[in-house]
Amino acid sequence: MRAMESSVGGLLGGLNSGVVLSLIAVLWTVVWQNLQHLQLQHFFKRHIGRHARRLSALVDPYLSVTVAEYDGGGRMRRAEAYEEVKAYLADTTSRDARHLRAEGAKDADRLVLSMVDGEEVADVLLPEEGGGTVFWWAYSKPPPGQQQDRRWGGGGGGGDQDNHRFYRLFFLDRHRDVVLNTYLPRVRREGRAVMVKNRRRKLSTNISTHQFTDAGFMRTAWTHVPFEHPKTFATLAMDPARKKEIVDDLDTFKNGKDYYARVGKAWKRGYLLHGPPGTGKSAMIAAMANHLDYDIYDIELTSVSSNTDLRRLFIETTSKSIIVIEDIDCSLDLTGTRTKKTDDKPPKVDGDGRKGAAADTSSKVTLSGLLNFIDGLWSACGGERIIVFTTNYLEKLDPALIRRGRMDKHIEMSYCGAPAFEFLARTYLGVEDHELFADVGALLQEVDMTPADVAENLTPKSADDDADSCLRGLVAALEKAKEDKANGRGKDKQPDEDEGQVVIAQDQE
């Protein structure tokens, strides 16, 4: 009996132990799940990390701010802050650097100096900012194995890998507020002022529609040369009243930032220059750029393969610029009917004689893509831009392309009249009045002659030419043109309907 009781007791004890262990397991599972839900491990990690940061601050009390060459999401162009810091350091601290990089400046005899890779310079606060506090700027690029890392290069865009550079500012933790709220804003302001002072205006053109390299980084689609065209409104042959109207319009636009913001319009303006060849459309663009102190971007539409590439070109332009498409009637098939032309020519073939899409290298820019370029959503990316179209044949352009709001101001560049002739005579010959002025003015009412042709006749060809001989030569040229007109000779040959046209994909109605 005792043996039986002992066996039963052991069995019950075992069962009780099993139940207890099971309860413990269940409870532990519940507690562990709740611990995971509360993420206590992250709490301990943060707690430990906080102490680690405090310890590292005792060893290295410096903080840093990195100004990357390209913004985190900006794959199209350099960050403005980077350019401003570069200009500020070039102007204020380059004298302390041991190794410098030289670039051309606005003044052809000067150089703009900037830091090379690995260089460090010191800067201090102004007296009104606290004075005496030393900050350190370093210029560098990511290590080779980290050039595609966003935290180094700024988002994986904007240029070749080797060009993903950055400026880094080092300062003490106790100076955080003065650096972020006072010092860095001043650096940007002064940097912008230096950029204006040293700015060398550029004439840019698009050279490629292949925007991305094999590594996925975008190369710039623009190439540029210094813009040094001498034409100004003071030397532009045009009726003085019309010239003043254009200058006043340009000045109003340049000073109209607040106005455009108030009415809710992108800060841009379109100009359509139309008229016969030789009437000074290109000279007008140069005079506009010199008057406004703007860069020029000259777009060759036939080398733009798609609407996407056209947008990229626009995004890469800077503010304070004139975007030009010359002879747009010869670059696009923009007739008033907007009908798609049929092509009866045999299909293009590749080098092996096969048909295929690879053989089609024509542009796919459409009318809607061009309209979005002018006044769509993408046209508001940036500000203070002027868009200029030129054409010899206004009637060939689609009315939707040249309506107000897209091409806001239409400027007719006409044949030379008496006021323009008198201006040219003063400019080229230095004469205010002459007995032949009346004859020239009368002939110009009967004969169409461009300002370029008038100027050529007024240009002395030898040391013996004077004002009298040049004016008599102009009268003779005008009389000959009048005689040719009377005899039906000398009329300008009108181009065939398709002569000089590059047929580019049109939108369907």
Confidence of residue 504 (pLDDT cuts 50, 70, 90): very low
Q: Which pLDDT belongs to residue 286?
A: 95
Share of the chain above pLDDT 70, in %: 67
pLDDT tens by residue, 291-303: 999 999 999 888 8
Annotate 454-470 with b (16+ C-beta within 10 A) or e (fewer). Answer: bbbbbeeeeeeeebeeb
Q: Where are the alpha helices (DSSP H) in 155-280?
A: 176-178, 184-198, 240-254, 257-263
Confidence of residue 160 (pLDDT cuts 50, 70, 90): very low
Q: Which pLDDT belongs to residue 400?
A: 84
Confidence of residue 43 (pLDDT cuts 50, 70, 90): low
Q: Which pLDDT belongs to residue 336?
A: 46
Least confident of 225-239, 297-311, 336-350: 336-350
Confidence of residue 45 (pLDDT cuts 50, 70, 90): low
Confidence of residue 341 (pLDDT cuts 50, 70, 90): very low
Q: Which pLDDT belongs to residue 288?
A: 96
The arithmetic mean of pLDDT across residues 308-337, rounded, is: 79
Are 267 and 383 in contact by the 8 Å Cβ rule? The answer is: yes
Average pLDDT, the chain: 75
* Antiparallel, parallel or unpaired: β 202-206 and 62-68: unpaired
Confidence of residue 125 (pLDDT cuts 50, 70, 90): confident
**Model confidence at 345: pLDDT above 80:** no
pLDDT tens by residue, 189-204: 988 888 877 778 889 9
Q: Where are the alpha helices (DSSP H) in 363-406?
A: 367-375, 399-402
Output the pTM of the full model: 0.67
Rounded to whole angstroms, how far apart are CA atoms 72 and 152?
10
Q: How far apart are the first and last CA of the chain?
A: 106
**Model confidence at 433: pLDDT above 70:** yes
Share of the chain above pLDDT 90, in %: 17
pLDDT tens by residue, 243-275: 999 999 999 999 999 999 899 888 999 999 999
